[in-house]
């Protein structure tokens, strides 16, 4: 099989209704299509092979783990530029929200983790929610996820809002980025390139916070 080129998979998935953070159905299917022929050529016992394929096929979010690693690799390539205010990482742990910038080395700049505005399963409410947590905001840091949600109208069934809101969020992100990623284009925006490269200075100047598509964890572990 050799290496698997991930950026073309992300680019194609953005044309198929994914934003590659909380909607990964197309990307997971594309990766499954790429992996399956190679797996079938292995000497794995049929029962093991079946378990592997069933696991991948049964999880529409399977590609998220892969896209996070891809985004981290892309952003690490831009880290360490003297004087640069490019944001190269965003992460949350349920207590703090932290960002790193290209020109400030290994320093993290933190603030209290916010509560998430979103949808809840029946029987649950904001009083059950934990503050924002997780590493998956690396996708938005790289210009997909919430930054590309205009390409994924169905995501609003998970995060709330309307398809028009999704497009509006993507358009707003152009105001806080250094440029665009020509490799990731968005069909509902006339195939405009996705906004990419969060500029911390522009966030401060405009007061526009990066939009993050995220799930809401329960405040009690295991629920």
Q: Which residue has the tokens 């500029």?
A: 199
Query: Which pLDDT score is estimated for 10?
Result: 98
Query: Which pLDDT score is estimated for 159?
Result: 83
Handedness of CA 86, 89, 90, 96 (dihedral sign): negative
Query: Which pLDDT score is estimated for 156?
Result: 87
CATH 3.90.1700.10 occupies which residues in the chain?
Answer: 80-206
Query: Which pLDDT score is estimated for 207?
Result: 97
pLDDT digits (tens, 9 = 90+) for 98-150: 999 999 999 999 999 999 988 898 999 999 999 999 999 999 999 999 999 99
CATH 3.90.1710.10 occupies which residues in the chain?
Answer: 6-67
User: Global pTM?
Assistant: 0.92
Superfamily of domain 6-67: Enterococcus faecalis V583 domain (3.90.1710.10)
pLDDT < 70 stretches in the chain: none
Distance CA 25, CA 50 (A): 20
Superfamily of domain 80-206: v583 domain like (3.90.1700.10)
Query: Which pLDDT score is estimated for 161?
Result: 86
Q: Which residue has the tokens 């590609």?
A: 63
Query: Which pLDDT score is estimated for 113?
Result: 95
Query: Which pLDDT score is estimated for 68?
Result: 97
């Amino acid at each position: 099989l050799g290496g698997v080129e991930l950026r073309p998979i992300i680019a194609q998935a953005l044309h198929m209704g994914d934003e590659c953070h909380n909607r990964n159905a197309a990307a997971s299917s594309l990766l499954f299509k790429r992996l399956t022929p190679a797996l079938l050529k292995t000497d794995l016992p049929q029962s093991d092979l079946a378990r592997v394929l069933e696991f991948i096929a049964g999880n529409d979010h399977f590609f998220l783990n892969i896209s996070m690693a891809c985004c981290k690799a892309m952003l690490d390539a831009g880290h360490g530029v003297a004087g640069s205010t490019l944001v190269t990482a965003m992460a949350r742990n349920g207590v703090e929200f932290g960002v790193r910038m290209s020109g400030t080395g290994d320093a993290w700049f933190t603030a209290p983790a916010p509560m998430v505005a979103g949808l809840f399963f029946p029987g649950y409410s904001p009083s059950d929610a934990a503050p924002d947590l997780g590493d998956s905001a690396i996708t938005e840091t790289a210009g997909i996820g919430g930054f590309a949600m205009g390409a994924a109208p169905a995501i609003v069934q998970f995060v709330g809002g309307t398809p028009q809101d999704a497009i509006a969020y993507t358009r707003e992100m152009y105001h806080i980025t250094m440029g665009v990623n020509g490799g990731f284009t968005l069909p509902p925006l006339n195939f405009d390139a996705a906004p990419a490269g969060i500029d911390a200075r522009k966030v401060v100047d405009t007061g526009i916070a990066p939009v993050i598509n995220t799930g809401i964890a329960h405040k009690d572990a295991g629920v």
